[in-house]
Amino acid sequence: MDNVIAVRDLRVLDGKKTLVGPVTFELAAGSTTGLCGPSGAGKSTVLRALVDLLPHGLTRDGHLEVQGRTIRRGNGDADLRSTVVLVPQTPVVFGGSILDNALFGLRHLVRASRADMRDRVEQALREASLWNEVRDRLDTPAQTLSNGQRQRLCLARALALEPAALLLDEPTSALDERSRDTVEESVAALRGNRTVLLVSHDPAQVERLCDHTVRLELPETLALSSAAV
């Protein structure tokens, strides 16, 4: 099986200081991989490093390959981010309708007829298990959706781009128990069809949803200093 993403000795640096890593892993096409580790180890930061969305001042170090192409440091661009799509932890819903939100990335990236766009959006909403709940009200404001629905909407607009890999950053931690279950079901439904890297602090969730697990440890410098305390 081909690797969609291959990472070797990835670190996130603040100047010379290592904040996160090193970590090494590969994402096989169609697999769901869990990224877990103690809080503060920088799980979310690793996801941002993969798509070059690190906060200002932090840099990525190490080897990163996406679909066989080496991504050099600071060389991430819109192209990379539409191939490997990050879904942030808190669902972000933009002003406008549900359809607007589902089209949010797609309408910039693809030249296609309105009908084709709509088909792709419908496909994505089905894949995110949201279609049945919103099919009759695509034109209503997206702000009316519940938190769990919002998170699935975010998932859908990422899926609409047909990404090579999805990076899910704690997709359920901002949700209550019931919405958590619905989002988990949607993620479970992707298994086998999509390449997913899932960050979670909940080992049981990783157990339920993932084929492989990558553990991220605290970097040595931080581990030592916390051991000293």
- Shortest distance in whole angstroms from residue 29 CB to another protein: 19
Burial 79-107 (b: 16+ CB within 10 A, else e): ebbbbbbbbbbebebeeebbbbbbbbbbe
Question: Does 164 interact with another protein (rule: CB under 8 A)?
Answer: no
Residue pair 83/66 in contact by the 8 Å Cβ criterion = yes
How many Cβ atoms sit within 10 Å of the Cβ of residue 65? Answer: 15
Quick check: 115 binds another protein (CB under 8 A)? no
187 binds another protein (CB under 8 A): no
**Among 31, 33, 82, 205, interactor with another protein by CB under 8 A:** 82
Q: How far apart are the C-alpha atoms of 187 and 27, rounded to whole Å? A: 16
90 binds another protein (CB under 8 A): yes
**Residue 22: exposed, middle, or buried by beta-carbon count in 10 A (0-12, 13-18, 19+)?**
middle
- Minimum Å gap between C-beta 92 and another protein is 4
Q: Which of 61, 100, 184, 217 binds another protein (CB under 8 A)?
A: 100
Q: Which residues sit at the interface with another protein, rule CB under 8 A?
A: 51, 53, 56, 78-83, 85-88, 90, 92, 94-97, 99-100, 103-105, 107-111, 139, 141, 154, 157-158, 161
